[in-house]
Amino acid sequence: MIIDGLQCGYFDRDVFERLKQGNVHCVTPTLGFWEGTVPSLESIVRWRDLARENADLVGIATSAAQIESLAAQGKVAIVLGFQNATLLEGHIGFVELFADLGVRVIQLTYNNQNDLGGSCYEAEDSGLARYGKEVIREMNRCGVLVDLSHVGNRTSREAIEWSERPVAITHANPDEVYPHRRNKTTDVLHALRDHGGIIGCAAYRNIAGDEFCKTVDKWCELVARTVDIVGIDHVGIGTDKSHNTTQRDLDWMRKGHWTRGTDFGAGSAARPGKAPPPDWFKSVEDLGAVEPALARAGFSPAEVDQITHGNWLRVYRAVMG
Amino acid sequence: MIIDGLQCGYFDRDVFERLKQGNVHCVTPTLGFWEGTVPSLESIVRWRDLARENADLVGIATSAAQIESLAAQGKVAIVLGFQNATLLEGHIGFVELFADLGVRVIQLTYNNQNDLGGSCYEAEDSGLARYGKEVIREMNRCGVLVDLSHVGNRTSREAIEWSERPVAITHANPDEVYPHRRNKTTDVLHALRDHGGIIGCAAYRNIAGDEFCKTVDKWCELVARTVDIVGIDHVGIGTDKSHNTTQRDLDWMRKGHWTRGTDFGAGSAARPGKAPPPDWFKSVEDLGAVEPALARAGFSPAEVDQITHGNWLRVYRAVMG
């Protein structure tokens, strides 16, 4: 069984069937990048409708126990997540309301600084702002996982230390393994480890690099090097796989409403468009190849279980209660 | 025990204590009149905070069983209600989300026509609009009570017939007893009765009239005449009592954002301001006088129980499941 800590794009029945084929029995889709409260509620409505229409294949889960129960029925558990805190529109009280509506993961900041803290692409990382501290406390209270994937390194360190529950970097890689602003410095990863958190290794070409995208064994080498840095208890999978996205969606993800100019996100002027998927990971069912490859990389069966789902379940249990 | 189907204004610990003194163990406060989605969520946050801060006195209830359990503990059950459908901002999917957040009563239209249907103060009542039908079906499915108090008579009749569950006129009186546009014509009341609904008799001077405001016995005469029209199984209490409201609040209730002119709501040019409370009902604890007065009016103990709480509980049970 695989738990994927982050995917994005447009899910449909075909994607759900491929997830099952790939032995992925839990995934956190991205319900929003820049959206405010009302479009975020609309996104929840769409996901509820989608889950109802495909109730034979998927179910929305709000606890580790529900994930396990859905997986045991051969279904895919959906953990509702947002990649930005814009859904709150500055309301501390909305954390509880969104949690009541099933949201279980919120990334503190997306590509830009916001009212909570600094982001990986800002020249200056402010650190965790006053409101960011309030939101983390409330997320802790309401069983919502703090996601730091796109958060700046300083804000990430401060959030790890401030949070009373383990936090996650749901989709990123170690900067030491593949240097990139979206990847995490070793000091952040050690703090994450020391506070019981988890990093989901990404299979997104822009932040994994061409080399680790060649074969599944190459990608598992990236996973192994991440384990070397944070230890076997703190590594999971968070592919950042995007389904059915177009250039228009990519523009929204990168430019939102915040710029009339150009922004390449994790890409660059040299690689401006949609990054090609890893050679071994053209479609989501290919994730089925990860478990045997992790075994070939030298992980024991128990360690493979930890990386593929056990560590995620431990963190979900600690956060969602 | 008294259930009051509608109050409004600003509640605080003092009001909660007075409710208890008056033997009122369940009340539906008004969380919004004209507000869209975000300020309606803010209102829910405020009520949750208020309920938490006064957890020794009150609790938010979402079912008849919870109301009974809170009352048995000597507490006041709060049933979250809105006097307009503006909180949905045209989203059918938001009915379920607001229901999940605890909302159990929504009035289809307030003083003005909206996307659901016609209102009591419009020259022309359109009847129940297409979206209004969708919203009622969704409210039926999600356990939210349809309130028709300010709704136009034609829309009211159509809503009563369209709804698959009993509906309520939470705070109004029979037009036959006190003629007023806010009060309900006999054909509407008979349809309400025939479909298992309930009318909460109002103790708001503008729609009860000076005569029925003189003494509690006079007001119970109004209740008795309502029983004559719809039968003992379909009458409850819905005072429309407003707490701590100022002229500014009254302006908001009447004018919202919709007019730069003047609107008197249930008042008139001759009686433009805040209507004085009934002589017998200066503060909410005075409701304690209603039970003995109903007995004096000739109702048996079982009938008094029906009017004061039994009929409301039956409707709540039928709607909220």
Could you give the C-alpha distances from B188 to A116, A154, B113, B195, in angstroms and in order? 53, 65, 18, 11
Q: How many Å separate Cα A172 from the centre of its chain?
A: 8
Decide if pLDDT at B131 tops 90. yes
| pLDDT for the residue B321 | 85
For residue A80, give how far its alpha carbon lies from the nearest alpha carbon of chain B (Å).
Answer: 14
What residue of B is the nearest CA neighbor of A49?
B93
| pLDDT for the residue B288 | 97
Q: What percent of chain A has pLDDT over 90?
A: 99
Confidence of residue B118 (pLDDT cuts 50, 70, 90): very high
Mean pLDDT of A134-160: 98
Mean pLDDT of B98-113: 98
Mean pLDDT of A224-252: 97
Confidence of residue B224 (pLDDT cuts 50, 70, 90): very high
Tell me the residues of chain A between 37 and 66 that have a Cβ less than 8 Å away from chain B: 37-38, 41-42, 44-46, 48-49
Does B45 contact A94 at a Cβ distance shorter than 8 Å? yes
Mean pLDDT of A288-304: 98
Tell me the residues of chain A between 78 and 107 that have a Cβ less than 8 Å away from chain B: 89, 91, 93-94, 96-97, 100-101
Q: What is the mean pLDDT of chain A?
A: 97
Mean pLDDT of A28-37: 98
Q: What percent of chain A has pLDDT over 70?
A: 100
Q: What is the pLDDT of residues B198-217, one digit of tens each?
A: 999 999 999 999 999 999 99
Mean pLDDT of B218-245: 98
Decide if pLDDT at A16 tops 90. yes
What residue of B is the nearest CA neighbor of A96?
B45
| pLDDT for the residue B1 | 97
Does B100 contact A100 at a Cβ distance shorter than 8 Å? yes
Is the minimum CB–CB distance between B23 and chain A shorter than 8 Å?
no
Is the minimum CB–CB distance between A137 and chain B shorter than 8 Å?
no
Q: How large is the ipTM? A: 0.91
Decide if pLDDT at B55 tops 90. yes
Which residue in B42, B44, B93 is closest to A45 by CB distance? B93
Mean pLDDT of A245-255: 94
Confidence of residue B41 (pLDDT cuts 50, 70, 90): very high
CA distance B258 to A10: 39
Decide if pLDDT at A320 tops 90. yes
Going across the sheet that includes A235-237, the strands are A58-60, A76-78, A24-27, A2-4, A235-237, A198-201, A168-172, A145-147, A103-107, A80-82
What residue of A is the nearest CA neighbor of B96?
A45
What residue of B is the nearest CA neighbor of A36?
B38
Does B38 contact A38 at a Cβ distance shorter than 8 Å? yes
Which residue in B42, B49, B97 is closest to A45 by CB distance? B97
CB contacts of A138 in chain B (<8 Å) are: none
Size of interface A-B (CB pairs under 8 A): 46
Mean pLDDT of B72-97: 98
CA distance A172 to A182: 7
List the alpha helices (DSSP H) in chain A: 13-21, 37-53, 64-72, 93-100, 130-142, 153-162, 186-194, 205-208, 216-230, 247-255, 290-296, 301-305, 311-320
Does A41 contact B37 at a Cβ distance shorter than 8 Å? yes
Interface mutation vs chain A, best among B31, B37, B38, most A CBs within 10 Å: B38
What residue of B is the nearest CA neighbor of A100?
B101
Does B45 contact A100 at a Cβ distance shorter than 8 Å? no
What residue of A is the nearest CA neighbor of B49?
A93
For residue A36, give how far its alpha carbon lies from the nearest alpha carbon of chain B (Å).
Answer: 10
Does B37 contact A42 at a Cβ distance shorter than 8 Å? no
B218, B220, B226, B230: CA torsion to nearest 10: -160
For residue A100, give how far its alpha carbon lies from the nearest alpha carbon of chain B (Å).
Answer: 7
Mean pLDDT of B144-173: 98
Does B93 contact A38 at a Cβ distance shorter than 8 Å? no
| pLDDT for the residue B175 | 98
* Least confident window among A261-275, B28-42, B274-288: A261-275
CB contacts of B46 in chain A (<8 Å) are: 93
Q: What is the mean pLDDT of chain B?
A: 97
| pLDDT for the residue A321 | 85
Confidence of residue A203 (pLDDT cuts 50, 70, 90): very high
Interface mutation vs chain B, best among A35, A42, A95, most B CBs within 10 Å: A42
| pLDDT for the residue A40 | 98
Does A91 contact B45 at a Cβ distance shorter than 8 Å? yes
CA distance B109 to B119: 6
Domains detected in chain A: 2-320 (3.20.20.140)
